[in-house]
A and B are shown apart, each in its own frame.
Chain A
Amino acid sequence: QSALTQAASVSGSPGQSITISCTGTSSDVGAYNSVSWYQQHPGKAPKLMIYYVSKRPSGVSNRFSGSKSGNTASLTISGLQAEDEADYYCSSYTSSSTLVFGGGTKLTVL
């Protein structure tokens, strides 16, 4: 299985909105509504931000939202804040009963 495709980096100014895309195939992202997104700050474990494409765990800000169209999923962060600067990873369930991650996107808040 190949890793999901994410842009290496994205940036935005405080208050702006940014979108991170995650492209897979018809055997993973396109096949299941089980795309999840994780935020990782330096030296910390990844933290679940979005699951089942668009659901937020308790405690995650509603500035984070997710969507999917075909083989591509997206994470949108609105009202960008300095604390949002981190690495973001997408993940999807696959037809082989495994999980696959994207390569990660580094978000810089200007």
Chain B
Amino acid sequence: QVQLQESGPGLVKPSETLSLTCGVSGYSISSGYYWGWIRQPPGKGVEWIGSIDRSGSTYYSPSLKSRVIISVDTSENQFSLKVNSVTAADTAMYYCVRSPHCTGGRCYNGGLYSEYWGQGTLVTVSS
């Protein structure tokens, strides 16, 4: 059974870098799929941040692209998220997900939907 688990600091100071890691069990990242991050500010809706494949190809939300880096470590079977220059608006529950990307004999960059979700980790930006 595929399981994802987010980890990282729960408190980050404004202007600093938010760093999270998602550990994957029950499936090898090097076998395929896209692996992504989604966030949800308290009391608000969900927002797709971006995704990465096993080769390191990345796709980002246009609104976050300038501040986000997603990387993958297939040897550790994990992938990571960094968000630079954070503000209070980056306070949110952060989820990591696995995304299928092939259907009907065709594959699509970035991933088509979020199949498995981690339990989420709350990151608060505050001094």
Contacts and interface: CB of A to CB of B under 8 A. Distances in A.
A74 interface: no
B45 A93 contact: no
Contacts of B60: 98
B68 interface: no
A77 B111 CA distance: 26
Specify the main secondary structure of chain B where it touches its partner.
loop
A48 B62 CA distance: 24
Contact of B118 (A40, A45, A57, A100): A45
A98 B95 CA distance: 16
A30 interface: no
Interface of A: 1, 3, 32-34, 36, 38, 40, 45-48, 51-52, 57, 89, 91, 93, 96-104
A98 B114 contact: no
Interface centre among A34, A51, A97, A98, by most chain B C-beta atoms within 10 angstroms, is: A98
B48 A48 contact: no
Top 8 nearest A-B pairs (CB, nearest first) are A36-B113, A97-B110, A97-B109, A99-B48, A104-B45, A34-B112, A45-B117, A51-B113
